[in-house]
Structures are given as C-alpha cells and as structure tokens.
Structure 1
Amino acid sequence: MPTPLFLRPAEGWVGDLIPFHRDGRVNLFFLHDLRDDRRPGMSWNLYTTSDFAHYDDHGVSLPHGTPSDQDLNAYTGSVVEHEGTVHLFYTGYNPAFPSPRTGGVSQVVMHATSTDGMATWTKHPEHTFGAPDGYAPGDWRDPFVFRPDPEGPWRMLLAARTDDGRPYRRSGVIAQAVSDDLESWEVVEPFWSPGRYITHECPEVFQIGDWWYLVFSEFSDHFVTRYRMSRSPLGPWTVPEHDTIDGRAFYAAKSAELDGSRYFAGWIPTREGSTDSGAWQWAGHLSAHVAVQRGDGTLAFAMPPALHATFTDRRQPPFDPILGDWVDSGEALGAVVPDSYAVAVTPEAPRQFLFEATIDVGANTTECGVILRSSADGEEGYVIRLEPRAGRMVFDRWPRPRTGDGQWQISGDISHEVELERPVAIAPGAHRLQVLVDDSACVAYLDGSVAMSARMYDRQTGGVGLFVGEGRAAFTDVSIATRQ
C-alpha cells in the first residue's frame, strides 16, 4: 500500500497547521481533532518534513490542559525562537472559563517555552491575556508572533473582532500587541481593519524579496485563505488580482520557508457522512503547495517538487474514443468539435495516482479537461473543467442529484460545485494540467500556478476521461503515474 499523499493521524483529523522551520526541517504542528462528542480537549500534534513529500509523525507535542485548565483546548498559534529558547504562543479555550467582562465565551492567548529542542514544553499560565475593552472576548485567537525589525519590538497579530457596533459580518480585525521580552504584551492599534470579514483567522506575515505578504483565512464570503501584498511589513496592503491560495477545500493555510522556497500547509476538509453532498467539516487531511513569486510580486501555487518526484512509474494510457472525432497522431490525441462534444476514456485507474497532460486549447473553445473515476461512457465521474471563456477552472460531478422522476427534475441549475472554482486566464495555446488523486482527496494544478483541492466520495472506481466541448483541444504528454 503506497504512502498516503494527504496525511491524517491514525485517529482523528488534521486541523489548523502551524509551520516552523528549524535545523533544515519544517515542524508542522497541527490541531488534533478527534471529533469526540465528549469533547476531551484538543492538543497540538506534530509532523516534520524536509521536503513536503516525506513526513515523520511525532504524535502529541503540546498536550492540552485538564478540564480545570484554561487551555483544555489548545488552539492555533505560532512558534518563534529567541536566544536559545523556543516560544510557543497559542489560543486557550475552556467553556468553564467565561469572560469576566461579558460572562460569555472567552478565548485567551497563552504561552509555553522549550529549551530542549521542543521535546517538552513548559507552560506559563501567568502570561495569559484576553481581549481588552473594545474587542469581543469570544474572538481573540491565533496569535502570530514575528519581529520585522531586529531592533524593534516583537509583534503579535490576532484574529479578533471589535465590539464597537459595526455590522457583525464586518467586525473582524487583525488586532496587534507588542512586546520587548515575549512575556508581557501591550495591545496597540489594530494591524489591519478592512471592514470585510467576520474574522481574519490564522494571520501571518512574511517576506519574499522586496515584497511582504499578509495571509489570513476567512469564512465570511468564500471560506478561503487569502493574501495581501506590501513593500512594508506594516502595510498598507494591496489586493492582487487573484488573492486566494486555493478554493473552498483548502483552509487555514500558513507557511514556512524551506531551502529558499515558501511552502503553504493547510487542510482539505472532509464532508459530513463521507458523501459528495455532505456539508463541509472542520479539519481533514494535510496538504501543501509551494508558492512561486512572479515578477510583479504576486504568488503562483504549485505542487511541491519533491512530491512530484515520488511518482516514478509513469505510463501513457490508451484512450478509447466514445463521442466525437478524435485524431491520434502518436504524439497527441486531439478533437475538433466546433458545435459538439467529444470524450475519450481510459480503462480503470488506480486509487492513488498523478495525472499529467499538456492541453493545447484552441481559440473560442468553450470547455475541455479531464474526468476522474469516469464511467465507460464518460457520463459519470468527477470533472476538472477548463472554461477559457469564463476564465476559470472548476470542479464538477455527474450525475447531479435528482429532485424527482421528471426528465427535467435534475439539479441542472447548479452549474458546478460552485464553491470549487478557481479564477485563471486560459488563453489559446498550451496549458499543463496536473492532478493528484488519493482516496477521497484530489488536488489539481494548472500551469504550476493555480491550485484547486476537492473531495470525491460517492464514486470510488473508474477510469480517466478526456473531453472537449465546442471547440478544439489536443492532449500531449499524457501520463498516469504511480509510486512504488
């Protein structure tokens, strides 16, 4: 059985990731979600990696507290090292500790340190602090600590909300506290207050070259991780044309530098009942993208190179034309269907694989792409569809749910999995599509630039299909690769 592409603990699921680079490896702390109705508490567990292709599982790193401790649930935070001591800042939550100001839910910032290489942690409950006046005590979490000026103070960013009467959906801010000793903190003016979202979860700031980046996750509009850009670590922040790292199925991503590259680690959420129509759930499987800085400072997101290199067994599968006129030149498989549809399908595909193809898209083509776990006729499966006219890549599935026995009673008013679409310019010419598939999870990458994660539950078997709709497309360098 090959090693999973997307990790989860033997028991439970991967929640928010907290990456921390040290000694040539990235420590991927994560919230260990047991989904236990008894709510026994949440700890930080740990994976480590040197390439984002191979991982070591270290189990629990920071244990959660007891029912009488304020950190019964140890939620998201950050890790920094200073003068030989590693400092871990995290969110503490225990419903037995209501806010002394409001009597309602209270989240607090907590502190732990390690001097033995993070083998053990010493907690410092005396350093705990909650939201001051002007902020909602129930949203005071995800402390991110950094020091942009080596001579200046440490800065802590927090996912917070004001309680100054703003509309709830626009009350989110990234609060800010400063410290000279990493122990006592003074809350100062907000770091960022755009009036856009309920909260800005898992904030972080980092630098690549001359650009600084602010990253946060929001569940107000699209439930995605976004980024902003500036020439200064303190802003002002500008919005890139496409400001999301992935879509709905990749959340709470944070990053770390490794060997000169910036990697984002997040989680692919599961769906309730392990069905395609189930509601998205909190936590899931670990997944990672590598960020590539373009000339204008914007970020592209690609497959980690070391992960790609693990697929050593490549084959060029045969495709059987099902609909339309296909021409196989030996180097390319192409179809020209000006006002029609063409599909070709392979036999059964493995449970875990990497699909790759270069798609030469003709001018004015409506759609083209790949069908995963396709039926023999190409009419059932999961579709990764390039839509040049709409400027997007989408994830779709067929058949759609039926609402009755009538011929018209099909969910045709839903154009695709609406939350699973990625904006991208698809000009006429060659585009490289890569798709990782493992069990219920998949991630598609287009042109080493745009990432789209998804889930596939209801169909567990099938082949791979190629399709073209109303236009022309040729598929070259097509392969299905597996790992030994």
Structure 2
Amino acid sequence: AADRSEALSLATSPDGVRFTKTLPNPFLSPGPRYTRDFRDPHVFRDGRTGLFHLLVSSVLRDGGRGCLAHFTSRDLQAWKEEEPFHVEGPGGALECSEHFGWRGWYYLLFNGSYRMSRAPLGPWEKPPFDRFDGPLFAVPKTAAYKDDRRIVTAWLADRGWGGRAVFREVVQNADGTLGTRFLPEMAPAAGEPVSLSSSAGGDAAPIASRTARAGAPAVLDEMPRNLLVTLRAAPGAGVAAYGLRFRLAADGSCRELRLLPAARGVRIAGGPAIGAVDGLDRPLRIEAVLWGDILDVCIDGRRTLIGIAPDLPGRGLGFFAEGGEVSFDDIAVRPLSGPEPR
C-alpha cells in the first residue's frame, strides 16, 4: 500500500516569488515513534545555546496521545530527533504550534490553547483558563509589536474552516497567565455618542447611568443597529448574574451577555463562554461592539469574548441583574460607520 504519511518539505526563494525545492525532498518524515500525522512545523531558537528547535504536530503510536515531535539543529539543515517536546492526552495531533518568550515567561501554543513555563523548554503548566478567547477564536497566532506589546490574531470559526480575521492585544497578568483586550489601533470607526433615553421609570431625559434590580431591568430604546457601547458596571452584594441585552425587542427576544460572579464566567447566552474571569463581583469596565452579525466584548481591558448575534428586529439595549442590584454608569453608545463585516 502507498505510504500516506505526512512529511515536511522545504523550498527557498531569493525574492519571495520564485521558489526552488531543496533536496532531499521531503527532508523529514515521521519515524516509527509517530503516526502518519506530521505537519504544522514551527521553528524557534534557544537564545542560551543557539540551538534551533523544530516542533511538528503529531500523535504517538504508543497510546495515541497528541504530541509535538521535537528535532534540533545547528544549521537548519541537519536535524536530530529528540524526545517529544510536549505530550497531551488522546484526541489527535497538537496542531498549529507556536513558541515564544515574553516578559520573563515562555509560552507554547497548540490547538487554540496555551501552556506556560519559566524555562524555554518547559516543563509546561496549564493555566486555569488556557484559551485567549472563546471557542470561536480559532487557531490563534501571535507576533511581537511595538513597545514590548504582543498581538494575537485568529479567525472567527462560525462558517466552517477559515473565516473572518479577529485581532487582539495580549495582556500578561502578574502570575504569567494571559488575557486579551481590544487593539486600539484597529478600533472600528464610531460616531459621537447618541442621546440616550429610557423606557424604564418614566424618565425620557438624556441619561448616563441606570440601575438594574432583580425583576426590574432597564432599557434604552431606539439604539443604532451597529454600535459601540462603553460603560462601568458596579454589582452589589449577592448578585448572581448581570449584563446587557442587545437588539432587545418588546417580546423579549435579544442577544444576551451574562456575567456570572460566583462562577467567574462570562457567556453570550446560547453561544460561547469564557471562564476564570476574576473580579466580576467588583466595579469593572465593559466595552461591546455589535456590528452586523458579530458581538465582540471586552471585560475590564483584560478578557475578551466574541460571538455571533442573530439579525433580530429589536433596537433596545437592556440592562439586567439577578439576585441583587447593579449600577451601570458612564454609559456611552456610539454608532458604527462603514460596511458590516461579511
């Protein structure tokens, strides 16, 4: 039978246009330790030794555990097989890996998640929440940016394989764990804040704050279809859940953003969620972009969640609380201009 194993080949170019295959071709194939899975090469250099490390997505034949095959080289031509760089449990190859060092920590990415270590070659620790965003933030890749910042980009996995690009700025916490926030340089074009009025409490004058209580949500009427919302939320004692309702209609249909202090979670109702979000029981900032069918949220400049918002007919913006009282202050709603994401 024909050998259908994956393998690594290399072509080089002096101008980025015309490429020549190198010999041997392929230059690296899976040995007896690995299954036919052998793809997604990533190379990094250990600054302490000058040694190049090549990571390859694969699966161990013994036990079927996903792993990163590991090879080293001094010249990027002759490669020596090493012990696997990292091994996880059964479930397929550890795909689309990346390795980088940043501000005293080292990070290893694969399968949309990350691991962290104080040493460039591990051992690797799994953080409490090991993704940059929710499950729709697919195949993240990072790059160094100016002023010691770092950018991560992924595609929005709502239409099968591949999709619309999503950009974030990476946030490093004091314990080395990572979060994300909106990238200021790529903020959507927004107009001046609209005048706000409310259908709750009989107050139709412009407002900048609203209080929601259990069983008594507040609503801002006639909001733009596409908008940027910024506000400060201050939950009171005992609040079980609170958040915003986008494109809220009279019949209650909406797209709901739920913050769950006790569970340390943020969820787009009926959609994606993130965990290990600290500080949801304290005052925090919320930024939300509703643009076409995309709902994109940033919590306190340190965690993000992107999801899909159905094209609902309502134009209300609701504020709700369960189990207590939440004050929503410094509310600003800005209309977004330009074509909707497609």
TM-score (norm 2): 0.88
Equivalent residue in structure 1 for 2:13, among 109, 114, 119? 114
CA drift of 1:380 comes to: 0.7
The CA deviation string for residues 234-286 of structure 1, in whole angstroms up to 9 with x for no partner, is 00111222222111111110100010211111111124xxxxxxxxx222110
- After superposition, the CA RMSD in angstroms is 2.6
Q: Does 1:423 align with 2:295?
A: no
The alpha-carbon deviation at position 468 of structure 1 amounts to: 2.0
Q: Which amino acid aligns with 2:322?
A: G
CA distance in 2, matches of 1:234, 1:385: 39
SS of residue matched to 1:321: coil
Structure-2 change in CA distance of 1:190 and 1:475 (3 Å): same
Is residue 262 of structure 2 the alignment partner of residue 374 of structure 1? no
TM-superposed deviation, 1:115: 2.4
User: In the alignment, which residue of structure 1 is the partner of 2:121?
Assistant: 234
Q: Deviations over 1:411-452 (max 9, x none)?
A: xxxxx43x5343312443311111223222232111111111
Offset at residue 301 of structure 1 (A): 0.8
CA distances 1:57-81 after superposition (whole Å, capped 9, x unpaired): xxxxxxxxxxxxxxxxxxxxxxxxx
Q: Sequence identity, in percent? A: 27
The question of whether the paired residues in 2 share the 8 Å contact of 1:325 and 1:335 is answered with no
The answer (yes or no) to whether the contact 2:196–2:207 under 8 Å persists in 1 is no
- Residue 326 of structure 1 and its aligned partner are, at CA, apart by 8.8
Alignment partner, residue 64 of structure 1: none
Aligned partner (choices 341, 363, 380) of residue 237 of structure 2? 363
Q: Does 1:384 align with 2:282?
A: no
Q: Distance in 2 between matches of 1:422 and 1:290?
A: 19
Alpha-carbon distance, 1:460 to partner:
6.7
The offset of 1:300, in angstroms, is: 2.0
Q: Which residue of 2 aligns with 1:252?
A: 139
**Which portions of structure 1, spanning 4 or more consecutive aligned residues, are displaced by more than 6 angstroms?**
324-329
Which position in structure 1 is the counterpart of 2:285? 432
Give the distance between the partners of 1:325 and 1:125, measured in 2 at CA.
Answer: 78
Which of 191, 211, 231 is equivalent to 1:313?
191
The aligned counterpart of 2:51 is 153
How many residues get paired? 335
Which SS does the other structure have where 2:324 is aligned?
strand
**Cα deviation, residue 386, structure 1:** 0.7
2 CA distance for matches of 1:389 and 1:304? 29
Distance 2:17 2:83 in 1: 36
Change (3 A) 1:438 1:336: closer
- Give the Cα–Cα distance (whole angstroms) in 1 for the partners of residues 57 and 261 of structure 2: 37
Please tell me the residue identity of whatever aligns with 1:371: R
Partner residue, 2:266: 393
Cα distance, 1:312 vs structure 2: 4.5
Q: Which residue of structure 2 aligns with residue 182 of structure 1?
A: 76
CA distance in 1, matches of 2:292, 2:125: 38
Structure 1 alignment gaps of length 5 or more? 1-97, 218-224, 272-280, 397-415
**Cα distance per residue 1:172-195 (max 9 Å; x no partner):** 011111222223433221001133
Looking at secondary structure, tell me which structure has more strand per residue: 1
The 5-angstrom pairing of residues 334-349 of structure 1 reads 334-337=211-214, 340-349=215-224
Shift of 1:295: 1.9
Stretches of structure 2 that go unaligned for 5 or more consecutive residues are none
Distance (Å, rounded) in 2 between the aligned partners of 1:395 and 1:125: 51
Aligned counterpart, 2:130: 243
Distance 1:326 1:385, change over 3 A: farther
SS in 1 for 2:88: coil
State the one-letter code of the partner of 1:191. Answer: F
Give, in angstroms, the shift of residue 296 of structure 1.
1.9
The CA distance in 2 between the partners of 1:327 and 1:320, in whole Å, is 6
> Cα distance 1:240–1:382, how it changes in 2: closer, same or farther (>3 A)?
same
The two structures have a TM-score, normalised by structure 1, of 0.64
Q: 1:242 to 1:233 in 2, by over 3 A?
A: same
Equivalent pair of 1:343/1:465 in contact (CA under 8 Å): yes
